Amino acid sequence: MTTSELWSRAAAERYDAEEENEMASAAVLGPTLDFLAELAGEGRALEFAVGTGRVAVPLRERGVPVAGIELSEHMAAVLRRKADEDTLPVTIGDMATTVVPGEFTLVYLVYNTISNLLTQDEQVECFRNAARHLSPGGRFVIELGVPPLRFLPPGQVAVPFDVSERHLGFDTFDLVEQILVSHHFTRDGSGSPGTESGGDGRYRRGNSRHRYAWPAELDLMARIAGLDLERRVADWDGTPFGPDSPKHISVWRKPS
């Protein structure tokens, strides 16, 4: 049984509208698709936690054969409105253990999704599952934020990540268990899975739990799975990764 929290039908229906302005913009998607398409080459790609197909659908439109694994049937149902099963097959299941047929030159996880697995053991199994699906020489790509613990004042457990008229977002941290909870107060839109209230003109409240991990911890998980770090950059444009980078794109390769 996976520890990942399931997206409800209501949250899945709101997801695309919530992310439409930023995460689905050409400025964000263009570099993401360029990066992934280059790594996929002439082979197939598999997206873990494919969601509503924000990345998978346009990647498929670029000519890359894409398959997906998704835990939430509601999220997959939204994706199915954009692409049929023959165009983009999706298997319902968790990304740590679910196996789909065939081999892939690319397996990828975007937008902090590996943090949906709330235990270290499950995250290790996610790496092993990626390696299981990769052909020799194939790559596993993860996009993940760097835990912003340096911004925690002494005695405090909360760090804001978005303060605007439309949305207030902040993370609270359990430093022992490496669990963060993202809290969202969103006006006239949707938040993450969690407790909700409010209506038109008011704020909707939501929260979601995540297990954060440092880049070095992910590298060890990769080694356990038999993968080698090939590249780490700060964003999809290839900006060098450094001590002040808020996130990283990491690429591990399965030996030929």
Give dist(CA 166, CA 84) in Å, integer: 34
Give dist(CA 231, CA 169) in Å, integer: 31
The pLDDT of 74-91, averaged and rounded, is 96
Residue 201 clears pLDDT 70, i.e. is over it: no
Q: Are 232 and 241 in contact (CB under 8 A)?
A: yes
Handedness of CA 13, 172, 165, 187 (dihedral sign): positive
Percent residues over pLDDT 90 in the chain: 72
Count of C-beta atoms within a 10 Å radius of residue 64? 21
Strands 66-70 and 90-92: parallel
Confidence of residue 166 (pLDDT cuts 50, 70, 90): confident
Give dist(CA 90, CA 85) in Å, integer: 7
Strands 203-211 and 179-187: antiparallel
Strands 134-145 and 203-211: unpaired
CATH number of 9-146+213-253: 3.40.50.150
The pLDDT of 131-146, averaged and rounded, is 98
Handedness of CA 147, 152, 156, 158 (dihedral sign): negative
217: tokens are 């911890």
Give the range among 10-24, 156-170, 183-197, 240-254 with minimum mean pLDDT: 183-197
Convert the pLDDT of each residue in 236-252 to its tens digit. 999 999 999 999 999 99
Query: What is the structure's pLDDT at 17?
Result: 67
Confidence of residue 190 (pLDDT cuts 50, 70, 90): very low
Q: Is the pTM of this model over 0.85?
A: yes
Summary mean pLDDT of the chain? 90
Which one has a higher pLDDT value, 250 or 190? 250
SS3 string, the chain, reads CCCCCCCCHHHHHHHHHHHCCCCCCHHHHHHHHHHHHHHHCCCCEEEECCCCCCCHHHHHHCCCCEEEEECCHHHHHHHHCCCCCCCCCEEECCCCCCCCCCCEEEEEECCCHHHHCCCHHHHHHHHHHHHHHEEEEEEEEEEEECCCHHHCCCCCCEEEEEECCCEEEEEEEECCCCEEEEEEEEECCCCCCCCCCCCCCCEEEEEEEEECCCHHHHHHHHHHCCCEEEEEECCCCCCECCCCCCEEEEEEECCC
Residue 1 clears pLDDT 70, i.e. is over it: no
Convert the pLDDT of each residue in 19-59 to its tens digit. 555 666 777 899 999 999 999 999 999 999 999 999 999 99
Q: Are 35 and 61 in contact (CB under 8 A)?
A: no
Residue ranges of domains in the chain: 9-146+213-253, 149-211
Residue 198 clears pLDDT 50, i.e. is over it: no
Token look-up 């590298």 returns: 219
Query: What is the structure's pLDDT at 45?
Result: 98
